[in-house]
Amino acid sequence: MQVPSSRPSPYLISFLVGESLLMAIGPVLAVYFRLGTSAELFTFRYSWYRLLLVPVVLQITFYYSDLHNFRIARHFVWTVARVTQAMAVGTLALAVLYYFLPTLLLGRGVLFLSFFITTILVLIWRGLYGWALKQRLLAARLMIVGSGSLADSIIDELVSRSDNVYNVVCLVDLAGEHEGAEENAGEVVLMKSWAQLLRADLRHSAEDLAGLVRYLEVSMVVVAMDEKRQRMPMEELLQCRLLGVPVVTGEDFFEQIAGRILADRIMPGWLIFSPGFTTGRLRRFTKRAMDITLALFCLLISLPITLTAALCIKLGSKGPVLFRQEREGQYGRTFKVIKFRSMVADAEQQTGPVWAEEDDPRITKVGRFLRKTRIDEIPQMWNVVRGDMSLVGPRPERAHFVNQLAKELPYYRERLQVKPGITGWAQVCYPYGSTVAAALEKLNYDLYYIKHSSLSMDVMIIIQTIKIILFGGGGR
């Protein structure tokens, strides 16, 4: 699953800024080769706003072509093909804009030449960036202190990402201090395997931790310990901090790199004292204003689709067009969610409340299409206008599943502290799942959203949702 980042790294931001500059330089070079270097030409005919339009349009097409996702390693041939495709779509979009707004036109023949020049510049830039990531030239040097499930999750996340900007140079396995203990034997073996894979120095003692930090030129220390069995080396960590090296908890570091919170591995104290979870009056006002404005706008522009969907549902199977079901909203208040009916009528009359399955036989042919395209979600805009839901938030669940999952998953009822949403961070980061394990993963993302909720994050989730609707992504 390709997980978008809620907080892009400074390296990625720098890369995108540099790429945008190259996209603006491409047309300038095209003008130079096509028309010469007249001062009047550049000063009056090719003003900054004309050049700014080019990277704006191209970066939008790059985003929807999945070219802003560096988490998964891609072969350079894939990059060449996808960049060329995105450039062609972006150039076509610019041509359409120039047709309706001829004052923005760069010049006859310039756009076509700019396509080739900009494509070459972008491919060179991306090739250099990919090489720098692979060589760890941009990576911060990391030391991980501790072993156990949290340390394993951090290392696994770093190893699985091709855009990893951290180079683990040292693992301090404090469980190795008691290497003979049978309960620690598995962790010791696993940490040795991690050290070999990462080509990192492996230590089994926290003695002279500050000296090790200086020797290995460590730029950050991550403390990922199982505090029930391992002694926190407070004095040694204090010496590292006094050297000017940041010391962060494993929970905070994992949250930063993964965009989710490990609900089953955090203590209540971490949630209590961790920054975030703030919803001021201005935030509530702007969120509500955006909800009402966008919901009404979506209802208006989707009217032809809504009428067509209603007709298809009526002709496709017996039963009502709309489906109403009781869900738990903010603070546990119940409300009736409204959706287009995508299953046969009275689908749960015999079985009671059950999750939808892969190739669920209860879903009608029309309903399968409605679910795949998310058209069945359109009536929920009325729930947003009424204030039962928000555009962005955790998905609302039925009381039956809330009670069941709250018994099995820690902090599950904390999802009810905010309004549920039509889309959300969990929906764009994690595929549809119908198991307790999938519910735990979605809970990890929901808690992250509740902690970091902001207007910019809502906008980013909505943009990502549009991308999923246009190019696919899983809902049943």
Report the C-alpha gap between 156 and 446 in whole angstroms.
21
In the 8-state DSSP scheme, what is residue 363? B
Are 89 and 59 in contact by the 8 Å Cβ rule? The answer is: no
Q: Are residues 322 and 448 in the same domain?
A: yes
Backbone phi, psi, residue 290, to 5° = -65, -40
Distance between start and end Cα atoms, the chain: 16
By DSSP bridging, strand 322-328 and strand 334-340 are: antiparallel
Q: Establish if 2 belongs to a structural domain.
A: no
Q: Give the pLDDT score at 474.
A: 46
Q: Of the candidates 86, 109, 134, which is a domain's last residue?
A: 134
Backbone phi, psi, residue 324, to 5° = -115, 135
How many domains are contained in the chain? Answer: 3
- Band the pLDDT of 469: cuts 50, 70, 90: confident
Whether the model pTM is above 0.75 = yes
Q: Are residues 106 and 218 in the same domain?
A: no
Q: Establish if 301 belongs to a structural domain.
A: yes
Q: Are residues 93 and 157 in the same domain?
A: no
Q: Establish if 289 belongs to a structural domain.
A: yes
Q: Are residues 202 and 154 in the same domain?
A: yes
Angle at 377 between CA 374 and CA 383, to 5 degrees: 160
Report the C-alpha gap between 106 and 45 in whole angstroms.
8
Q: Are residues 81 and 154 in the same domain?
A: no
Give residues with Cβ within 8 angstroms of 87, minimum separation 6.
Answer: 58, 61, 115, 118, 119, 122
Report the C-alpha gap between 164 and 405 in whole angstroms.
33
What are the CB-based long-range contacts (under 8 Å, 24+) for 76-81? 76/127, 76/130, 79/123, 79/126, 79/127, 79/130, 80/123
Domain of 221, in residue numbers: 140-259
Q: Are residues 419 and 285 in the same domain?
A: yes
Q: Are residues 245 and 328 in the same domain?
A: no
Q: Are residues 155 and 74 in the same domain?
A: no
Tell whether the model's pLDDT for residue 360 goes beyond 80: no
Q: Give the pLDDT score at 145.
A: 93
Amino acid type, 196: Q
Tell whether the model's pLDDT for residue 248 goes beyond 90: yes
Nearest one of 234, 222, 424, 381 to 295, comparing CA atoms = 381
Q: Give the pLDDT score at 39.
A: 46
332-346: average pLDDT: 89
Q: Establish if 5 belongs to a structural domain.
A: no
**Which CATH number covers residue 182?**
3.40.50.1980
Q: Give the pLDDT score at 191.
A: 84
pLDDT in tens, 155-186: 999 988 877 889 999 999 887 555 445 556 66
Q: Give the pLDDT score at 13.
A: 86
Which residue carries 């028309």 as its tokens?
Answer: 35
Nearest one of 381, 386, 473, 384 to 426, comparing CA atoms = 473
Report the C-alpha gap between 449 and 467 in whole angstroms.
19
Q: Give the pLDDT score at 345.
A: 79
193-215: average pLDDT: 88
Task: Write down the mean pLDDT value for the chain.
Answer: 85
Q: Give the pLDDT score at 40.
A: 45
Report the C-alpha gap between 237 and 235 in whole angstroms.
6
- Band the pLDDT of 133: cuts 50, 70, 90: confident
Q: Of the candidates 134, 151, 171, which is a domain's last residue?
A: 134
Q: Give the pLDDT score at 185.
A: 64
Tell whether the model's pLDDT for residue 307 goes beyond 80: yes
Q: Are residues 122 and 217 in the same domain?
A: no
